[in-house]
Every structure is written in structure tokens, then in C-alpha cells.
Chains A and B, each alone.
Chain A
């Protein structure tokens, strides 16, 4: 699932990721994790492409929500559980590239609410284009 060496320190995140069949189905991999921070990578597949060969915007949205939930899970205590209640995504043109990089960063970590910013980048060789930003609200169960 991931080559990130410190991932096992984040039990909530491991459990979340293991239980999310959809992310595994897509082929999402966790590439970096720290307190309040998570990064994921998703290689392109032809079957998700929009008319111009870019990632479907629904995939971009799914990744933005998921990386936010993962970032929130890094600061979730043992007996807590958070779930996304809403997100809004801004799309800056097309998400065309070999891979998508999703970066989730907690802005506010409260007891009832966690607010996370997700940024999505399209990677093409050494090129990195910022293609979407989302703000995700997560609510304690």
C-alpha cells in the first residue's frame, strides 16, 4: 500500500486507507505523511480520461476529499472519528499528466471540526502544474 516508513505511527490513517476500497480500486498510494499532513499519488488510467485525455474532474474531487480525510486522520485521537460533511473544489483548467499529486494540509484541528486544504497537482516528468484546490470540512462522528 505504501513505502512511507513512518505510516505505521498513524493508526487511524492506516485503518482509514485499508478500509477504503475505492481508493485501492483507483490505485492511490500514500507518498508522505506527517502530523496534519498527507500526500497521495495517482497514476493516470485511460479509462478515466475526459475528452482531451486529462483526468476526469470527478477523480480530482475524490482525491481532494480523500487526502483531506487522511490529513485529518493523522490528528485524530484513538476514540475519535471524523467524516467529511462538505467540500468545495476550484478547478484551474484541465488535470492533464502522468500522475496526480494530492496534498492535504490541516488548517484548523478542533474537537468537533477539522478544516483541511487540499491541493492537486498534475505531474508530467519534472513539470508540476497546480490544477485544483479544495477546502474540506470534517465533522466528528
Chain B
């Protein structure tokens, strides 16, 4: 089985700092609610601006939450001076994402030097019950020596 020992002793601070700079997560009102080596949960409370025409959380939003959780579950295992990018993901929607709160839970399955495979699941809290809304597998890439900052730390190109 994959070794889930963190290579960076400061992974907790590094991941939380990175999450704090994801403007989209801030925009939707998401919180990083659990973090350990190879595992991350992110939640978002319901608001009308996040829904589709049936009043359920929008599928793209549900996927985005799982993508961020999976990325940070992977990033927690990366060495210092590295960053993370999503290579691909495949998700299945299991039930409508309806409730007061959405929780994305990600757990690393496999990790080698460059590629990390992560399970992601999203649950909706409705009437005190957890409804399983989404399951997926996410492939994340470790970019060693690259900066976890805007434009991977490269000088910005004038737009």
C-alpha cells in the first residue's frame, strides 16, 4: 500500500495557506474542515447562488468541491517547494445534492513521485442525514520545484 507519511513536516500550514489563496473557494463560502496526511474535507453551506434550476447544488460546484479536497489531500503528501495541479477526474452523481451543507471528503489511494490518485466523495447534510451525492477518482500531479503561487511563480504576462 502507498506510504502516506508526509514528506513536508509543515504540510498542515502549507495546505491551509494554499487553500486560503483559492479565490473560488472563498467566493462560494467553503471551509477546510479536516486535514491530515493524505486526507482532506471541505464544506460549503447552502446558498441560493450555488444552485441549479431544481434548487440542488450545481453539479459543477459539487465536482469543484471534491476537486479541491482531492487536490489538498494529495498536496499534504508532497515535498516542500512543490505545488499541485489536477490531471483528470471522473465523477458519478449518485443522488441530488440537496441540503443545508455539502461536505467533500478526499482520501489518497496511491502516491508516487509525480502522480497521486485520490478518492473523492461528497455528502449533503439534509434533515440530520448524510446523503452520498458524488463519488469520483482524481489524478493529481506533483510539480516539484514549482511555486504554489499565482502563475506557478512565473513573472506575470501582461494581459
Known contacts: A88-B137, A92-B109, A137-B92. The answer to whether A130 contacts B1 by CB under 8 A is yes
Contact B90 A108 (CB under 8 A): no
B6 within 8 Å of A (CB atoms): no
A93 closest partner in B (C-beta) = B112
Q: Is the CB of A108 within 8 A of B95?
A: yes
Interface of B toward A, CB cutoff 8 Å:
1-2, 90, 92, 94-95, 109-110, 112, 117, 119, 132, 135-137, 139
Interface size class of A (residues with CB under 8 A): 10 to 19
CB distance from B56 to the nearest CB of A (A): 16
Which residues does chain B contribute within 8 Å of A130, judged by CB atoms?
1-2, 109-110
Give every chain B residue within 8 A of A117 (Cβ-Cβ): 135
Q: How far is the CA of A139 from the CA of B4 in the complex (A)?
A: 36
- In the complex formed, the residue of A with least CB distance to B135 is A107
B61 to chain A, nearest CB (A): 20
Q: Considering only CB atoms, which chain A residue lies closest to B92 in the complex? A: A115
- The answer to the question of A135 belonging to the interface, with a C-beta cut-off of 8 Å to chain B, is yes
Q: Give the chain A neighbours of B94 by CB distance below 8 A.
A: 107-108, 115
Interface residues of A in 96-141 (CB under 8 A from B): 107-108, 115, 117, 129-130, 133, 135, 137
> CA–CA, A135 to B95, complex, Å?
16
**Contacts A107-B135, A108-B92 given; 19 further ones with Cβ under 8 A?**
A88-B90, A90-B117, A92-B2, A92-B109, A92-B110, A92-B112, A92-B117, A107-B132, A108-B94, A108-B132, A115-B92, A117-B135, A129-B1, A130-B109, A130-B110, A133-B109, A133-B137, A135-B90, A135-B137
